[in-house]
Structure 1
Amino acid sequence: MEKRFISSGSEYEAKIGYSRAVVAGGWVFVAGTTGSDPQTGAMPESVVEQCENTIGTISRALAEAGASLDDVVRVNYVLPVAEDFEACWPILSKAFAKAKPAAMMIVAGLISPQMKIEIEVTALLPKA
């Protein structure tokens, strides 16, 4: 099976040895993605801004793979503070309005205390 690797240029991709996304067997697997500003690399203080940035980064990776947020079939949310999740619901319900993926949210620490949300998705490539 042929695999294609997609990078967003995150410093963590090189440091840890992973890809933002991997395309394989008709699927797109997008790594856990956090909310740094795609232009500056700065981490916003607001969980809402981080969520918006995260969805943007995921959307760009999916587009490079030939898919979109509408093709997402599975999403995993990780937040260090459970109470922050509800503030993200309007962003997430808009982003996944058509896809309606299977989803879960867990509470866990992230690699940096500045990070307030991490999102991982799996998408099915649309038929050509």
Structure 2
Amino acid sequence: MKRQNISSGAVWEDVVGYSRAVRVGNVIEVAGTTATNGDEFVGKGSAYEQTKFILQKIGKALEEAGATMEDVVRTRLFVTDISQWEEIGRAHGEVFRSIKPASTMVQVSALINPEHLVEIEATALLSAEHPQTEGFSLR
């Protein structure tokens, strides 16, 4: 089965040995994504702004893999302060209100950078009829 690794270009991808996203067949897994863009940190102190930016980054990775946010079937949100769930949920809902993927939000003690308030993973599934499955075996 064909494998496609999608890179964000982050230096840590080679150091740690991971990809922003991986597509195998019709499944796309997006790694834990934070509000860091190269050396730039987005949304300092705002869980809402971080979540919005993270979802944009996830959307770009999905696009590179041949998918869209409409193909997302699962999100996992890791947050450092669960009391901010409404702000995080509002940003998530602005993207996924009509899509309604299965979703989990859990509080964690820390993320890799103390300024990160949110980290999100996503899973997308392309149907056999999806135009971007060409060249990929679905078996």
Q: What TM-score do the two structures reach when normalised by structure 1?
A: 0.91
Give the 3-state SS of the residue equivalent to 1:61 in structure 2: helix
Q: Quick one: structure 1 residues 39 and 110, their matched pair in 2 at CA, closer, same or farther if it must change by over 3 Å?
A: closer
**Contact 1:43/1:114 (CA < 8 Å) preserved in 2?**
no
Give the 3-state SS of the residue equivalent to 1:13 in structure 2: helix
| Cα distance in 2 for residues equivalent to 1:15 and 1:106 | 27
Q: Deviations over 1:11-42 (max 9, x none)?
A: 33222110000000211100010012x37522
| Deviation of the 1:44 alpha carbon | 2.7
Q: Deviations over 1:95-115 (max 9, x none)?
A: 112321111111112111110
Q: Deviations over 1:22-76 (max 9, x none)?
A: 000211100010012x375224311111111101100000011111111100110
Letter in structure 2 aligned against 1:118: E
**Unaligned ranges ≥5, structure 2:** 132-139
Is residue 30 of structure 2 the alignment partner of residue 30 of structure 1?
Answer: yes
Task: Report how many aligned residue pairs link the two structures.
Answer: 127
Please name the residue that 1:92 is paired with. Answer: 92
**Unaligned ranges ≥5, structure 1:** none
Is residue 55 of structure 2 the alignment partner of residue 42 of structure 1?
Answer: no
Letter in structure 1 aligned against 2:124: A
Please name the residue that 1:107 is paired with. Answer: 107
Give the 3-state SS of the residue equivalent to 1:9 in structure 2: coil
| Cα distance in 2 for residues equivalent to 1:2 and 1:72 | 20
Q: What TM-score do the two structures reach when normalised by structure 2?
A: 0.84
Larger radius of gyration: 2
RMSD: 1.5
